[in-house]
């Protein structure tokens, strides 16, 4: 993965020099290990700041919303699917975009790495599948496959679905992964068990809305939780209000969510917020044969009306 | 103690089910009095917000028909 | 009251049974009626009306099978008619929809339907016609019965020919047979024998192999036919109109709703046995025919209603009036209306609460108007019956009091409450209070709404210049409307020009030439030949279509459009078509008949093969006209050469209605009918110059080889390429490629898209009289729009709040009516906007809008939420 960076810099420099784009959205090194941060490069001589490794989990589609300039973006499989959704939803035009596709082998879950360390981590470097974690007084090598973000471990669209140029060779897609093992487990629970499970799951939530803000699908001028006329969901820490927020956030993502993991990654409390969106992602696949962001030609099933929709499952 | 009766909120499409409920009246079909009907212009109007709100307001069941 | 759906829904006294009227005693009803509506002295009155046209729609009489001793309908309890079975299946019927048999209330396990009871029968009754609807209703009843009772219910239909030539009917039949497991037995049952101990019924029949079978059923349903009512026959004599052999109204193919007497029109089953969509088509057609004859008088009897200026109450604190209706005893007999009124008085913003005995009576309306004015009310709730029937009436009351009509809400405490909770008056009163509270809370949030007014372009555009299209144009022009016909060919007339004559004997070509001359001579009709539509903009009342006419682009502005694009004959590959000049299609034969081809007289033998390309996997529908067409042409051949051996090889002969008489005539004239099944089709061979058809004879069960001089293939009718047009006007197509009407039964000649209408073979294959009927019907539906200069849209539509809009275009994508779009200019360019004219107020976009940017007038989030929020309060 780290091998892509030279190609990314080369392409970015060329695009900025030739004036194909006015800016490039990518990542630069953050101030903490495993915390690469998004950046916008506007001058060819600044492309050196760009980085690419397994710590680029943030979904860059967020930075494209309502932009008016011509812009290049570095896109993993999931990013590219969100870009497709963005184009469909009128958030940016295809001809404004230059997509630098990055075939992806998964991003590191920094919480999993921290869990393995015996103290503060000072640096994390990678060499293929080997991840070297260094800290104050310890050093450890772990296999990347053991510390992948949960969504990356079950990802079946690692290659970008839409791009203008690739920064590396396409990778083999994962097959025989059960994407919905966790959801199936919840589906099998008895109602009381489910209730207890969700009560437990959401108990740490502080309604900071980090999940919402990290999500490329959330771009409304006024979010439903902030509506006041009528105010039908309270703004408190009340259990009901918290649940209402999570349920409806998931509904708003139904048929659009690519399971990019941005929400879960952003949650400061480490809540598996993907459990909600994933259930609806699974439903969309099973009921409509739909995966979000795979084509520019069709809107998500819940966004369309068809007179001949069989909807056999509703009967 | 009286037997527990669920509170049911129903959202009925103006064009079919609401009219069907009217006809049930015309036919004098008897049913328990624990349903409260909210007329909506079409089941397409039904938003997940309504389900959640009704359940939060104490409904034991929400019935959408259209 | 004869039935729950009677209009008006009012009681009348049966003078034959009333004790007061017959014996002068009782009189109780007059004593208890709170409104004094009972008047024993009411007598029949003769009212003289001066009218310009009369439409006859007296309907039919269901055949009474008690005159058949072999079915013992009067004596065997478990032998019932199909209409009685309908009632048993009906949720509002005598068994509340529970399927039981009459003798012992046992749930039947085996039911038989006997077809053609009182139809196609000249031995025991005089009904030689086919009743046209019984096959389909029997299948429907069997399927519904199975859906009610589960798959172990055995349903068997005993028939002569299954006649399912209507749109989507054949598919329904095949589905019933193959998926639902309904048994179909080709046999006419002679006698039913009751087993006295059990009440079960023994039926004896010959199966396909000719073996006698005896089967015992729990119930037998007689599929009774439609016949002319003797009273109608008497009326017809008085009116001096001609009847047919079966005593239905006699009409011609080209004027299917005109009786023999000028100014008198006919529709429905009196015109001939028919089902719902055809009756609806007829009804609209009769309206056109009558309207056409009354064009000069249009609007002369209209009275202008007085308009009361609307008070501006915007921003005023709500002052709500609640009128609680007793509806006589309908509500007050169960609900404590005084308690409800007292409860309403205490609700927020309620300034007035009152009780009405009958809110809908004229004097109460006037009283309400006064109260609204006097108490200065600006919102009104009526707690009474259903808004479905009475909202409009009370809105008028608001208008009369100078209020915007949308400041009104009903609480349905009758249909949804008093009537259905008769035995729980306390709970019903509680519920009534809840419903009133809900309505009051909602109405407080209402704002006055505006209705968009739209100028209507009074021009019609007809796409397709075939018989349907030109009939439509003629009707439009006769009623004074400018009309454009778009025809893709170089001449008008379409496929009908290839037809020799109608079943009733009229020469088609001559008639069409006459019609086309009339069209060309009419200055209101503009004919565009070699023309196709290339784009369509706009919406009801204001369409703008671009037409390519001989390579030149023209723009036509029109208020309505009629799709009359017709259909085409199927060109077969099967049965060696194209390999021998003796193998032709039905239309080829018509051509030979038209030119009086001398070879027709010298032939020894002719064969017809039916269902070529129809009723097959690839094209599952029945083409409807081919059976009649072949039988007709077989008779023509016999006429030219009585010695000719004429064979018709068929699957089911579908000469529905009075077409059955020509089927009978054909058999009388010696035409030989041989039945085949779809999995054992006839084989056509050409060997040594000999043309032979080999078919398994259904009676002899032996292959039959027929040498013939002429083989006519009755080919399917296939839809034209309609996709582009469908896209232009946003019209749906079915799996077979025909257009899908607004409603299969109740809206056969119009589309769900406002301002677009449908007729002719673009809808489904049909013979000339039906195509003409539908053309007139489409005109009738369109004229209901065109006759107005403006249209008012509903105020209850969706509206975008551009500040909240995220421009994601969900609304644009999700709307079935294309009402939302993205604004191209103005302050809110790039944001969604909704055209109130196109909006049907369904609220799909409101629910789909993640940004909460769409408001819904009359059903806004805040209003529906307020109703939800009142649920947790306790009255």
- Please name the residue of chain B whose CA is at the shortest distance from the CA of residue C439: B38
- Please name the residue of chain C whose CA is at the shortest distance from the CA of residue B19: C388
Question: Does A123 fall in a domain?
Answer: no
Regarding whether C91 and C190 lie in a shared domain, the answer is: yes
Residue A311 has a pLDDT of: 67
Contacts of C91 in chain B (CB under 8 A): 27, 29
Regarding whether C845 and C706 lie in a shared domain, the answer is: no
Neighbours of C661 (CB within 10 A): 18
Q: Say whether residue C807 is in contact with chain A using an 8 A CB cutoff.
A: yes
Question: Does C450 fall in a domain?
Answer: no
| Mean pLDDT, residues A112-129 taken together | 88
**What's the rounded Cα separation, in Å, for the pair C289 and C775?**
11
Regarding whether A282 and A165 lie in a shared domain, the answer is: no
Regarding whether A191 and A72 lie in a shared domain, the answer is: no
User: For C513-556, what is the HEC assignment?
Assistant: HHHHHHHHCCCCEEEECCEEEEEEEEECCEEEEEEEECCEEEEE
Residues 2-31 of B with CB under 8 A from C: 7, 9, 14, 18-19, 21-31
Regarding whether A167 and A252 lie in a shared domain, the answer is: no
Residue B3 has a pLDDT of: 79
Regarding whether A247 and A168 lie in a shared domain, the answer is: no
Residue with tokens 């669920």: B6
**What's the rounded Cα separation, in Å, for the pair C287 and C780?**
6
**Among B44, B49, B56, beta carbon nearest to A248:** B49
**Residue C708: half-sphere exposure toward Cβ, Cα within 13 Å:** 28
Question: Does A227 fall in a domain?
Answer: yes
DSSP tag of C466: B
Q: What percent of chain A has pLDDT over 70?
A: 97
SS3 at position C52 = coil
| Complex confidence, ipTM | 0.96
Regarding whether C144 and C202 lie in a shared domain, the answer is: yes
What's the length of chain C?
875
CA C234 to chain centre: 29
Q: Is the dihedral of CA A19, A25, A26, A28 positive or negative?
A: positive
Question: Does A269 fall in a domain?
Answer: yes
Question: Does B2 fall in a domain?
Answer: no
Residue C780 has a pLDDT of: 96
Neighbours of C89 (CB within 10 A): 18
Please, which residues have CB within 8 angstroms of residue C839's CB and are 6 or more apart in sequence? C793, C797, C798, C817, C819
Which residue from A195, C871, C539, C858 is spatially nearest to B62, judged by alpha carbons?
C871
Residue C2 predicted with pLDDT over 80: no
Question: Does C496 fall in a domain?
Answer: yes
Question: Does C449 fall in a domain?
Answer: no
| Mean pLDDT, residues C327-355 taken together | 95
Question: Does A187 fall in a domain?
Answer: yes
**What's the rounded Cα separation, in Å, for the pair C340 and C435?**
10
Q: Are A110 and A152 in contact (CB under 8 A)?
A: no
Question: Does A292 fall in a domain?
Answer: yes
Regarding whether A232 and A171 lie in a shared domain, the answer is: no
**What's the rounded Cα separation, in Å, for the pair A232 and A225?**
9
Residue A315 has a pLDDT of: 54
SS3 at position C158 = strand
| Mean pLDDT, residues C536-562 taken together | 94
- Please name the residue of chain C whose CA is at the shortest distance from the CA of residue A89: C808
For residue A257, name the pLDDT band (cuts at 50, 70, 90). very high
Regarding whether A252 and A171 lie in a shared domain, the answer is: no
**What's the rounded Cα separation, in Å, for the pair B60 and B47?**
18
| Mean pLDDT, residues C808-830 taken together | 93
Residue contact C843–B22, C-beta within 8 A:
no
Regarding whether C203 and C138 lie in a shared domain, the answer is: yes
Contacts of A236 in chain B (CB under 8 A): none
The distance in angstroms from the start CA to the end CA of chain B is 36
Residue C35 predicted with pLDDT over 80: no
Q: What is the CATH number of the domain that holds C148?
A: 3.50.50.60
| Span A123-175, pLDDT tens digits | 899 988 899 999 888 888 999 999 999 999 999 999 999 999 999 999 999 99
Residue contact C851–A220, C-beta within 8 A:
yes
Regarding whether C750 and C697 lie in a shared domain, the answer is: no
Domain boundary, last residue among C444, C472, C487:
C444
SS3 at position A74 = strand
Regarding whether A244 and A284 lie in a shared domain, the answer is: yes
Regarding whether A163 and A241 lie in a shared domain, the answer is: no
Regarding whether C170 and C100 lie in a shared domain, the answer is: yes
Which residue from C827, C840, C751, C851 is spatially nearest to C797, judged by alpha carbons?
C840
**What's the rounded Cα separation, in Å, for the pair A7 and A50?**
11
SS3 at position C846 = helix
Please, which residues have CB within 8 angstroms of residue C200's CB and are 6 or more apart in sequence? C78, C194, C216, C217, C218
Domain count, chain B: 1
Q: Which of A99-108, C291-300, C415-424, C702-711 has the lowest mean pLDDT?
A: C291-300
pLDDT in tens, chain B (66 residues): 467 889 999 999 998 899 999 989 988 889 999 999 999 999 999 998 999 999 989 999 999 998
Regarding whether A232 and A163 lie in a shared domain, the answer is: no
Please, which residues have CB within 8 angstroms of residue C520's CB and are 6 or more apart in sequence? C527
Regarding whether A227 and A160 lie in a shared domain, the answer is: no
| Span C344-368, pLDDT tens digits | 999 999 999 999 999 998 889 999 9
For residue C698, name the pLDDT band (cuts at 50, 70, 90). confident
What's the length of chain A?
315
Q: CA of B38 to nearest chain A CA: how many angstroms apart?
A: 17
Domain boundary, last residue among C764, C790, C816:
C790
Query: Alpha-carbon Rg of chain A, whole angstroms?
Result: 20
Regarding whether C546 and C534 lie in a shared domain, the answer is: yes
For residue C257, name the pLDDT band (cuts at 50, 70, 90). very high
Regarding whether C210 and C92 lie in a shared domain, the answer is: yes
Structural domain range at position C111: 61-227
Question: Does C68 fall in a domain?
Answer: yes
Residue to test with chain B: of C96, C867, C874, most B Cβ within 10 A? C867
Q: Say whether residue C241 is in contact with chain A using an 8 A CB cutoff.
A: no
Domain count, chain A: 2
Residue with tokens 């000649």: C749
Contacts of C847 in chain B (CB under 8 A): 44-47
Neighbours of C106 (CB within 10 A): 15
Residue C124 has a pLDDT of: 86
Regarding whether C758 and C665 lie in a shared domain, the answer is: no
For residue C875, name the pLDDT band (cuts at 50, 70, 90). low
Q: Say whether residue B57 is in contact with chain A using an 8 A CB cutoff.
A: no
| Span C655-680, pLDDT tens digits | 999 999 999 999 999 999 999 999 99
Q: Say whether residue A114 is in contact with chain B using an 8 A CB cutoff.
A: no
Please, which residues have CB within 8 angstroms of residue C314's CB and are 6 or more apart in sequence? C447, C448
Question: Does A208 fall in a domain?
Answer: yes
Structural domain range at position A188: 178-310
Buried b (16+ CB within 10 A) or exposed e, C581-619: ebbbbbebbbebbbeeeeebeebebbbbbbbbbbbeeeb
Largest CA distance in chain C: 100
Question: Does B1 fall in a domain?
Answer: no
With the CA atoms of A143, A147, A149 and A153 taken in that order, what torsion angle do they form, in degrees rounded to the nearest 10? 50
Question: Does B52 fall in a domain?
Answer: yes
Q: Say whether residue A224 is in contact with chain B using an 8 A CB cutoff.
A: yes
For residue C190, name the pLDDT band (cuts at 50, 70, 90). confident
Contacts of B52 in chain A (CB under 8 A): 233, 244, 247-248
Residues 836-855 of C with CB under 8 A from B: 841-844, 846-847
SS3 at position C703 = strand
Please, which residues have CB within 8 angstroms of residue C535's CB and are 6 or more apart in sequence? C545, C546, C728
Residue C753 has a pLDDT of: 85
| Span A211-256, pLDDT tens digits | 999 999 999 999 999 888 778 788 888 898 999 999 999 999 999 9
Question: Does A276 fall in a domain?
Answer: yes
Structural domain range at position B44: 8-65
CA A42 to chain centre: 24
Q: What is chain C's mean pLDDT, rounded?
A: 93
Residue C4 has a pLDDT of: 63
SS3 at position C173 = helix
Residue C146 has a pLDDT of: 93
Regarding whether C575 and C562 lie in a shared domain, the answer is: no
Neighbours of C301 (CB within 10 A): 6
| Span C582-609, pLDDT tens digits | 999 999 999 999 999 999 999 999 999 9
Residue C299 predicted with pLDDT over 90: no
Determine if the pTM surpasses 0.80: no
Which two tokens mark C698? 């259904």
Regarding whether C574 and C558 lie in a shared domain, the answer is: no
Contacts of B24 in chain C (CB under 8 A): 415, 420
**What's the rounded Cα separation, in Å, for the pair C453 and C837?**
8
Question: Does C238 fall in a domain?
Answer: no
Regarding whether A218 and A70 lie in a shared domain, the answer is: no
**What's the rounded Cα separation, in Å, for the pair B37 and C23?**
48
For residue A85, name the pLDDT band (cuts at 50, 70, 90). very high
| Mean pLDDT, residues C97-112 taken together | 93
Regarding whether C597 and C616 lie in a shared domain, the answer is: yes
Domain count, chain C: 6
If residue C175 lies in a helix (H) or strand (E), which one and from where to where?
A: helix C169-178
Question: Does A150 fall in a domain?
Answer: no
Domain boundary, last residue among A175, A210, A225:
A175
Residue contact C844–B45, C-beta within 8 A:
yes
For residue C3, name the pLDDT band (cuts at 50, 70, 90). low
Q: CA of C873 to nearest chain B CA: how many angstroms apart?
A: 9
Contacts of C415 in chain B (CB under 8 A): 21-26
Regarding whether A290 and A253 lie in a shared domain, the answer is: yes
| Span C494-524, pLDDT tens digits | 999 999 999 989 999 999 999 999 999 999 9
Residue with tokens 């119930």: C219
Q: Say whether residue C746 is in contact with chain B using an 8 A CB cutoff.
A: no
Residue contact A224–B49, C-beta within 8 A:
yes
């Amino acid at each position: 993965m780290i091998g892509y960076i030279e190609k990314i810099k080369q392409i970015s420099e060329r695009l900025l020099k030739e004036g194909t784009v006015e800016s490039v959205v990518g990542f630069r090194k953050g101030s903490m290990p495993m915390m690469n941060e998004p950046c916008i490069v506007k001058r060819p001589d600044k492309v050196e700041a760009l980085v690419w490794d397994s710590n680029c989990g943030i979904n860059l589609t967020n930075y494209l919303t309502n932009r008016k300039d011509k812009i290049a973006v570095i896109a993993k499989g999931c990013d590219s699917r969100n870009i497709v959704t963005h184009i469909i939803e009128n958030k940016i035009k295809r001809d404004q975009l230059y997509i630098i596709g990055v075939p992806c082998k998964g991003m590191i879950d920094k919480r999993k790495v921290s869990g393995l360390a015996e103290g503060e981590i000072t640096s994390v470097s990678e060499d293929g599948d080997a991840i070297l974690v260094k800290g104050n007084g310890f050093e450890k090598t772990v296999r990347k496959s053991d510390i992948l973000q949960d969504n990356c471990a079950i990802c079946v669209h690692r290659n970008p679905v839409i791009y203008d140029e690739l920064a590396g060779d396409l990778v083999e897609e994962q097959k025989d992964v059960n994407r919905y093992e966790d959801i199936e487990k919840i589906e099998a629970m008895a109602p009381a068990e489910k209730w207890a499970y969700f009560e437990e799951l959401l108990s740490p939530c502080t309604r900071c809305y980090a999940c919402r803000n990290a999500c490329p699908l959330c771009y409304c001028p006024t979010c439903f939780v902030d509506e006041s006329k009528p105010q039908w969901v309270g703004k408190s820490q009340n259990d009901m209000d918290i649940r209402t927020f999570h349920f409806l956030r998931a509904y708003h993502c139904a048929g659009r969510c690519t399971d990019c993991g941005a929400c879960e990654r952003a949650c400061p409390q480490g809540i598996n917020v993907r459990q909600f969106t994933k259930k609806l992602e699974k439903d969309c696949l099973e009921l409509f044969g739909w995966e979000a962001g795979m084509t520019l030609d069709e809107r998500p099933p819940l966004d369309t009306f068809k007179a001949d929709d069989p909807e056999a499952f509703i009967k | 103690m009286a037997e527990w009766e669920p509170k049911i909120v129903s959202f009925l499409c103006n064009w079919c089910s609401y009219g069907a409920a009217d006809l049930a009246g015309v036919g004098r079909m008897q049913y328990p009095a624990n349903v409260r009907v909210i007329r909506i212009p079409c089941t397409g109007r039904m938003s997940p917000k309504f389900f959640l709100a009704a359940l939060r307001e104490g409904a034991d069941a929400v019935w959408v028909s259209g | 009251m004869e039935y729950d759906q009677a209009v008006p829904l009012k009681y009348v006294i049966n003078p034959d049974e009333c004790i007061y009227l017959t014996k002068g005693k009782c009189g109780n009803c007059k004593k208890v009626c709170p409104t004094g509506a009972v008047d024993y002295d009411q007598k029949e009155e003769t009212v003289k009306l001066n009218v310009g046209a009369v439409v006859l729609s007296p309907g039919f009489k269901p055949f009474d099978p008690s005159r058949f001793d072999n079915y013992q309908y009067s004596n065997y309890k478990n032998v019932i008619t199909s209409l009685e079975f309908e009632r048993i299946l009906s949720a509002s019927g005598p068994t509340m929809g529970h399927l039981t048999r009459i003798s012992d209330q046992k749930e039947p396990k085996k039911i038989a339907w006997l077809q053609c009871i009182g139809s196609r029968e000249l031995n025991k009754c005089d009904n030689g016609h086919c009743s046209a609807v019984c096959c389909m209703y029997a299948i429907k009843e069997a399927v519904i019965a199975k859906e009610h009772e589960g798959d172990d219910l055995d349903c068997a239909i005993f028939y002569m020919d299954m006649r399912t030539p209507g749109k989507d009917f054949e598919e329904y039949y095949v589905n019933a047979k193959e998926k639902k497991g309904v048994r179909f037995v080709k046999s006419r049952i002679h006698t039913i024998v009751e087993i006295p101990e059990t009440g079960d019924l023994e039926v004896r029949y010959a199966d396909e192999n000719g073996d006698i079978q005896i089967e015992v059923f729990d119930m037998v349903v007689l599929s009774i036919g439609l016949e002319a009512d003797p009273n109608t026959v008497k009326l017809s004599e008085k009116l001096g109109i001609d009847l047919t052999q079966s005593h239905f109204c006699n009409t011609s193919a080209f004027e299917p709703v005109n009786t023999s007497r000028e100014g008198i029109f006919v529709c429905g089953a009196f015109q001939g046995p028919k089902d719902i969509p055809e009756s609806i088509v007829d009804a609209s057609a009769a309206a056109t025919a009558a309207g056409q004859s009354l064009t000069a008088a249009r609007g002369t009897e209209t009275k202008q209603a007085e308009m009361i200026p609307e008070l501006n109450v915007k921003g005023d604190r709500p002052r709500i009036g609640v009128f609680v209706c007793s509806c006589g005893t309908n509500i007050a007999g169960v609900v404590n209306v005084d308690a409800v009124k007292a409860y309403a008085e205490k609700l927020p913003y309620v300034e007035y609460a009152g009780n009405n005995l009958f809110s809908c009576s004229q004097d109460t309306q006037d009283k309400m108007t006064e109260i609204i004015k006097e108490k200065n009310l600006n919102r009104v709730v009526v707690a009474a019956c259903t808004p479905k029937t009475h909202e409009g009436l009370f809105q008028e009351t608001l208008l009369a009091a100078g209020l915007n009509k949308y400041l009104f809400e009903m609480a349905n405490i009758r249909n949804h409450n008093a009537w259905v909770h008769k035995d729980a008056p306390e709970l019903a009163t509680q519920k009534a209070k809840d419903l009133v509270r809900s309505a009051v809370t909602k109405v407080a949030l209402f704002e006055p709404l505006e209705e968009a007014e739209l100028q209507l372009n009074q021009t019609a555009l007809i796409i397709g210049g075939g018989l349907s299209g030109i009939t439509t144009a003629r009707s439009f022009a006769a009623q004074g409307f400018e009309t454009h016909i778009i025809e893709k060919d170089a001449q008008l007339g379409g496929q009908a020009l290839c037809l020799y004559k109608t079943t009733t004997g009229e020469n088609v070509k001559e008639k069409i030439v006459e019609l086309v001359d009339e069209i060309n001579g009419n200055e209101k009709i503009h004919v565009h030949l070699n023309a196709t539509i290339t784009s369509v903009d706009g919406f009801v009342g204001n369409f703008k279509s671009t037409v390519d006419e001989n390579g030149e682009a023209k723009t036509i502005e029109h208020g309505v459009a009629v799709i009359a694009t017709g259909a085409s004959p199927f060109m077969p590959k099967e049965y060696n078509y194209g390999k021998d000049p003796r193998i032709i299609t039905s239309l080829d034969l018509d051509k030979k008949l038209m030119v009086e081809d001398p070879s027709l007289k010298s032939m020894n033998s002719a064969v017809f093969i039916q269902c070529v390309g129809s009723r097959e996997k690839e094209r599952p529908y029945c083409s409807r006209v081919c059976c009649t067409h072949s039988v007709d042409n077989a008779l023509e051949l016999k006429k030219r050469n009585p010695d000719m051996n004429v064979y018709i090889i068929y699957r089911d002969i579908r000469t529905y209605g009075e077409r059955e008489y020509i089927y009978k005539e054909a058999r009388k004239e010696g035409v030989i009918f041989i039945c085949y099944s779809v999995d054992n089709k006839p084989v056509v061979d050409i060997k040594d110059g000999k043309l032979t058809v080999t078919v398994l004879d259904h009676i002899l069960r032996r292959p039959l080889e027929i040498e013939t001089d002429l083989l006519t293939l009755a080919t399917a009718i296939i839809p034209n390429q309609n996709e582009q047009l469908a896209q232009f006007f946003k019209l749906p197509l079915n799996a077979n490629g025909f257009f899908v009407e607004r409603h299969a039964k109740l809206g056969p000649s119009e589309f769900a898209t406002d301002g677009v209408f449908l007729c002719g073979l673009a809808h489904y294959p049909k013979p000339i009289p039906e195509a003409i009927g539908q053309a007139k019907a489409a005109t009738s539906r369109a004229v209901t729009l065109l006759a107005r200069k403006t249209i008012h849209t509903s105020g209850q539509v969706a509206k975008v709040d551009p500040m909240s809009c995220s421009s994601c275009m969900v609304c644009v994508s999700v709307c079935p009516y294309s009402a939302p779009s993205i604004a191209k200019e103005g302050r809110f360019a790039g944001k969604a906007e909704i055209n109130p004219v196109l909006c049907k107020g369904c609220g799909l976009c409101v629910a789909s809008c993640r940004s909460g940017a769409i408001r819904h007038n009359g059903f806004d989030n805040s209003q529906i939420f307020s109703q939800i929020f009142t649920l947790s309060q306790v009255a």
